[in-house]
């Protein structure tokens, strides 16, 4: 069925000039972008977005990295887009992500304490609606 998902191009993707390449893959797959915004996320937004990871060893560096520069937030719509975008993105760890995926083709393993893995995609209908509400209030 038709779903919506929140896609983030993280600061590493924006810094490396991969916005066009990543959005091209999303659109080529047939998904529709209905909202797109570039901005540096504030700490309170990131704390809410990553609430489930609070207390994990990578939480503080993750929030610091995610707020380190502009990220692109987008709402994508399409049939089974939540699963579909996660398949496009590939595994969380860019070294393990398969060729053909965004992280597998474009992601680099910097050997840092947080995965700088270019993109985020919501993992369920519930988290998609929650995350869209945080990044795009009212949409």
As annotated, the binding site for ATP includes: 10, 58, 86, 92, 103, 117
Nearest partner of 118 among 105, 110, 107, 131, judged by Cα = 107
Q: Which two tokens stand for residue 22?
A: 């990543």
Catalytic residue among 120, 121, 122, 128: 120
**Is residue 122 close enough to count as binding ligand CMP by CB under 6 A?**
no
Query: Residue 49 corresponds to which tokens in the numbers above?
Result: 């977005």
Does 120 participate in catalysis according to the annotation? yes
* 115 lines the binding site for ligand CMP (CB under 6 A): yes
- Count CA atoms within 13 Å of residue 104 on its CB side: 12
Using CB under 6 A as the binding rule, the residues of this chain from 81 to 100 that contact ligand CMP are 92
Q: Of 19-27, 35-43, 75-83, 110-118, which segment contacts ligand CMP by CB under 6 A?
A: 110-118
Specify the DSSP class assigned to residue 41. Answer: P
Q: Whose Cβ is closer to ligand CMP: residue 47's or residue 138's?
A: 47
Q: What torsion do the CA atoms of 45, 50, 54, 58 make, to the nearest 10 degrees? A: -110
4/120 with CB nearer ligand CMP: 120
Dihedral angle, C-alpha 1, 94, 134, 131, nearest 10 °: 30
Interface with ligand CMP (CB under 6 A), residue from 62, 81, 97, 132:
62
Q: Can you give the binding site for ligand CMP, defined by CB under 6 A?
A: 53, 58, 62, 92, 114-115, 117, 120
- Residues carrying an active site annotation: 120
């Amino acid at each position: 069925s038709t779903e919506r998902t929140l896609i983030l191009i993280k600061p590493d993707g924006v810094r490396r000039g991969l916005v066009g390449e990543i959005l091209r893959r999303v659109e080529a797959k047939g998904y529709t972008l209905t909202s797109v915004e570039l901005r540096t996320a504030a700490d309170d937004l990131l704390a809410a977005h990553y609430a489930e990871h609070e207390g994990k060893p990578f939480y503080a560096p993750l929030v610091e990295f995610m707020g380190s520069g502009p990220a692109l937030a987008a709402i994508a719509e399409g049939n089974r887009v939540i699963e579909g975008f996660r398949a496009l993105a590939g595994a969380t760890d860019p070294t393990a992500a398969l060729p053909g995926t965004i992280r597998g083709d474009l992601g680099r393993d910097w050997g840092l304490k947080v995965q700088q893995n270019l993109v985020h995609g919501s993992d369920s209908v519930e988290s998609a609606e929650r995350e869209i509400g945080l990044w795009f209030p009212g949409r």
